[in-house]
């Protein structure tokens, strides 16, 4: 394993593509490829319903694609799967495990923690070793319509207090992505308005537009494996 550098940690910025549920690994790879073509900078493999074997096959296929593009693949919720496929990182939601334990088992991985509408939780996650936190739902979400709304103020406060990158999630579209970035989001995490689009690459380009003026927006860095 190659330890992450400070430079790599600071590259947690841009469109964060979170995969939709699908049983077809080929379809999933094609969708993610289109998102990467459009400018996605990170990918999270999220599957709540597939069997363990299918999840492993999908994660492995996505990892090959992401490694080829120099983009980190983060596994949602499942530390054993992240370790098994040598993913680049792990994301933990509420009840999905202790960030301190995850950090001890994955010392060189990217570690993200969902903090919902609670900046204090973001501070605790940073102290436990998280590389970034997720705040949201910042807007009304089609994927999680019952999710607590954090609003942009909680995002800005989490960024100020935790002092690590913040991913805005929930209801983000091309029309409001710039608001989240202006409020302090380093990343915008998107499922529906990206993968629900008939033109995934085009949607990725539109969602990435708030980051387009950054000098290094075209650069890709090969992330460290677990």
Burial class (CB in 10 A: 0-12, 13-18, 19+), 53: exposed
Report which DSSP code applies to 225.
P
Catalytic residue (one of 46, 55, 121, 205) = 46
Give residue for tokens 């202006």: 182
184 contact partners, CB below 8 Å, separation of at least 6:
155, 156, 159, 160, 166
Mark whether 144 is an active-site residue. Answer: yes
For residue 99, what are the CA distances in angstroms to 73, 103, 113, 163, 210? 18, 6, 7, 17, 30
Q: Among the residues of the chain, which ranges form H helices? A: 6-9, 25-37, 52-69, 79-85, 99-105, 119-127, 151-162, 177-182, 192-195, 200-208
Question: 101: which 2 tokens?
Answer: 């334990």
33, 69, 114, 121: which one is catalytic?
Answer: 114
46 a catalytic residue:
yes
Region for residue 141 given its phi and psi (left: phi exceeds 0; alpha: psi -120 to 50; beta: otherwise): beta
Residue 94's Cβ-count burial label (10 Å; 0-12, 13-18, 19+) is exposed
Three-class secondary structure of residue 44 per DSSP: strand
Catalytic one of 67, 144, 149, 209: 144
Assigned token pair, 38:
């459009």
Judge whether 9 counts as a catalytic residue: no
Instruction: Point out the residues that are catalytic.
Output: 46, 114, 144
């Amino acid at each position: 394993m190659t330890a992450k550098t400070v430079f790599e940690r600071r590259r947690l910025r841009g469109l964060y593509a979170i995969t939709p549920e699908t049983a077809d690994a080929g379809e999933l790879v094609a969708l993610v490829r289109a998102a990467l073509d459009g400018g996605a900078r990170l990918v999270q493999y999220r599957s709540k319903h597939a069997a363990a074997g299918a999840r492993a096959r999908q994660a492995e296929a996505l990892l090959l694609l992401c490694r080829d593009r120099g983009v980190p693949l983060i596994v949602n919720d499942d530390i054993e799967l992240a370790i098994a496929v040598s993913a680049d990182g792990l994301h933990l939601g509420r009840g999905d495990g202790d960030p301190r334990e995850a950090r001890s088992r994955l010392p060189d991985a990217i570690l993200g923690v969902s903090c919902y509408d609670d900046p204090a939780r973001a501070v605790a996650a940073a102290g436990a070793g998280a590389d970034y936190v997720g705040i949201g739902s910042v807007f009304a979400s089609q994927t999680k319509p019952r999710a607590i709304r954090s609003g942009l103020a909680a995002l800005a406060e989490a960024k100020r207090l935790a002092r690590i990158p913040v991913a805005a999630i929930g209801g983000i579209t091309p029309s409001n992505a710039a608001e989240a970035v202006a409020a302090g989001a380093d990343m915008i995490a998107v499922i529906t308005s990206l993968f629900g689009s008939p033109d995934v690459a085009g949607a990725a380009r539109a969602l990435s537009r708030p980051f387009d003026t950054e000098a290094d927006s075209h650069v890709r860095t090969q992330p460290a494996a677990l």
